[in-house]
Structure formats: C-alpha cells, structure tokens
Amino acid sequence: MKNKKMIFFIALSFFCLTLFVYGYHRSAVSLPFKCLYTTQYHYMREGESLNVHLIHDVRIYSKDSAYILLDGHLRSSTNTYKINRVILLGDGEISQGSTFRFNKTEVKPSHDDNVPAELVHRVLNEYSLTPDTMQIDIFPLADKSFLIGGPSSFLSICLRY
C-alpha cells in the first residue's frame, strides 16, 4: 500500500511539474517578435479633446534591440496632426516571459510628423513607467494573436507577422 501511495505522489509531482514547464514555455514570447496593431484613444483633459488613431508596429529583436513604429493622426478641437515616429529601445529586461521593459534610446520623428512633443508624451504614457523607460506586456491568445498592453492598460490585440 505504501508503494502505491509513493508511486502515486511521484507520478502526481511529475505531472504537476510537466504542466508548470509547459505553461511557462507557452506564456514566454519567442524572439524575434514582430507584431502589428491599431488603437484609437479619446482623451479629455481640461476641456480639451484629443482623438488619436494609430498603427503600432512593434519589433523586439532582443533585450538590447527593439523599436516601435507609430503612424497615424491626432485630432484636437482645433488641429489635426500627422504622427510618424520611431521609438528606439535598448538596455531592456524580460520578466515572466511576457513583460518587456526598455530604456528609450531615441525618439525619431519623420519629415512629415508635425505632432508637438507634449502630445507625443501623452500618447507614450500608455507604455511609460518613467519618461525614459517603456513597458510592453505581451500575452498569447491564439496562434498568431497576442494581447498587448502597457503598465496601466491593455491596448489592443496584435497580429504577429
């Protein structure tokens, strides 16, 4: 009887360990990771309305090399702006297989980007922990779709390519 209990507990322990390893591996995001998604925001601040429509192209090659391409437009009550920027990221860390924290190394506007810096910072606050860092949370949903977000909210579902 003792041998049967011992075998049962060993088998149960092995089964639990297998589930843990499989679950951890499944939740880890493999690199390089490239995904595309769109977002729409509506900000209200001090009576000022701002509508943001963006396409995000997130590319994470390693913990030391990543960038986000932002393309779209922002509409305030008085102006319409074109945003087309690259946020270069580096010196990062990966935790729990799905949370990426990076330092912003540079934010490069293209020649047709006319968004004031204050509005760009408001958009980037969705990802920001501090003015110099960004956090991207990526959780697998299905084959090539992922839930993607920042430290304060989940932004969208992205499609990996």
Q: Which domain CATH number covers 143?
A: 2.40.128
Shared domain check, 25 and 4: yes
Tell which residue, 63, 153, 52, has the closest CA to residue 101: 63
State the residue range of the domain holding 14: 1-29
How much is the pLDDT for 25? Answer: 44
pLDDT in tens, 27-65: 578 899 999 999 998 888 788 888 999 999 999 999 899
Q: For the whole model, what pTM was predicted?
A: 0.77
Shared domain check, 17 and 37: no
- DSSP characters over the chain: -HHHHHHHHHHHHHHHHHHHHHHHHHHSPPSSEEEEEEEEEEEEETTEEEEEEEEEEEEEEETTEEEEEEEEEEEESS-EEEEEEEEEEEEEEEETTTEEEEEEEEEEE-TT----HHHHHHHHTTTBSSTTEEEEEEEE-SSSEEEEE-SS-EEEEEEE-
Residue 84, CA distances (Å) to 22, 34, 54, 59, 101 in order: 40, 18, 9, 16, 22
Shared domain check, 55 and 21: no
Shared domain check, 38 and 100: yes
Q: What is the mean pLDDT of residues 89-98?
A: 90
Shared domain check, 46 and 6: no
CA distance 128 to 122: 10
